[in-house]
Amino acid sequence: MKIVTVSFLMIFVMIGTVYAQEYPELGLKVDVVAENLKVPWAIDFASDGRIFFTERIGTVNVIENGQINQIMSLGVGGGEGGMLGIALDPNFEENHYIYVYYTYNELLGIKNRLVQYVEWNNILDDEKVLIEGIPGAPYHDGGRIKFGTDGMLYVTTGDAGNPDLSQDVNSLAGKILRINSDGTTPDNNPFGSIVYSIGHRNPQGIDWDEAGNLVATEHGPSGWIGVAHDEINLIVPGANYGWPDVFGDQTKEGLTNPILHSGDDTWAPSGATFYYGDDMPMFDGKYFVAALRGQHIHMIEFDDNFGVLYHSELFSGEFGRIRDVTSGPDGLYFMTSNQDGRGNPNLYDDKILRISSLYDYENTPLWIQNISEWYIEGMISKQEAINAHSYLVERGTISQN
């Protein structure tokens, strides 16, 4: 296993405030989808081309035909909480259900809830609260929601600043939850409740590979018990992932270790996704993690047993804090979080951006598709990768999109 850090020379093509950046060594380009946003947190896609996303300040928005429209605004809790996860129902075309997870203030403290809405003509109505009273705090509210390959809705929750709650199977804090889309408990959940796994500190990213394996990201400790050691975990129903009793390589009987952790580095991992597709063959089958403190996208390749073949940092330091990365219908989408109070906002921050292929790799030999991966793994230099792609374009072997 090795880690490779990749930095890039940014190439700007300015069209008003919209720009495209090209990375010929990777065979990729990055386009701006939306900008001047207020801490965007999560994103999901409708089959009709609309893009729905949340902003932590309390809004739900839709991008349609290049225009951004706010479709809901709520008073939400502050700190790391707010309007967080969003997910469209797998049967959205028929039922128009949208699910959101947000932080709210009540007399006795801060809580989180999961709510189902019905969307019609970009209006959210018919509120139905599915989970109420999830422990909350100014820190560690979790908040990622996503439908799994089994059709169930998964919810990540933080320890709400009280680590002991993570080990309490009767508490919803520090857990990954699993529910039916109507909020009821699946019959095969491991604890007979909506709790699916325990012992989490602040998980903020989940996704499934093609075989249905769930992989999650989790923030490691900071302060009294240690620092860094952010985790990537293979989630097994009923498993205990150890917080606060162990972290990193520490072991204890009955507790599950991460398949990868950051060691003494701090990534602050958030949203995550597997990518599958022919458009960007160098990314096919890999797992991508948005890193806030690390200010990069972490790319991981697993073997069939979830051993880590290698992992690397993409776009290191170029876009600032990255909150989410997810597979869209036409590439990988990611969003910055530079206005969350811990970043240094750049011009027109915050943004939603899209990674897509710079070249047309269709019907090309495998070795051509692997040039970018060879560069990422450090097998060839940046200039060698650029020269190789340029030569193939000049010969007409590949064409630029």
> What parts of the chain have a pLDDT lower than 70?
1-19
State residue 19's pLDDT score: 61
pLDDT at 383: 97
Residue whose entry in the numeric block shows the structure tokens 């095969």: 188
Q: How many CA atoms lie within 13 A of 166 on its CB side?
A: 27
**pLDDT at residue 20, as a whole number:** 82
**Residue 315 CA from chain centroid, whole number:** 15
Query: What is the per-residue pLDDT for 129?
Result: 98
Token pair in block for residue 217:
């990201």
b/e sequence 192-211, b meaning 16+ C-beta within 10 Å: eebbbbbbbbbbbbbbbbee
What pLDDT shows up at residue 180? 98
- Over residues 263-321, the pLDDT tens digits come to 999 999 999 999 999 999 999 999 999 999 999 999 999 999 999 999 999 999 999 99
Q: Is the pTM of this model over 0.85?
A: yes
**Amino acid type, 168:** D
Q: For residues 154 and 174, give the distance between their C-alpha atoms in angstroms, rounded to a whole number.
A: 13
Beta 308-314 vs 3-5: how paired, if at all? parallel
At 246, the amino acid letter reads V
Task: Say what the pLDDT of residue 68 is.
Answer: 97
- The single-letter code of the amino acid at 240 is N
The CATH fold assigned to 35-266 is Neuraminidase (2.120.10)
CA distance 106 to 376: 48
pLDDT for the residue numbered 14: 33
Q: Are 213 and 197 in contact (CB under 8 A)?
A: no
pLDDT at 223: 80
DSSP string across 224-277: TT-----EEEEE-TT-B--TTT--TT---TT-PPPSEE-TTS---EEEEEE---
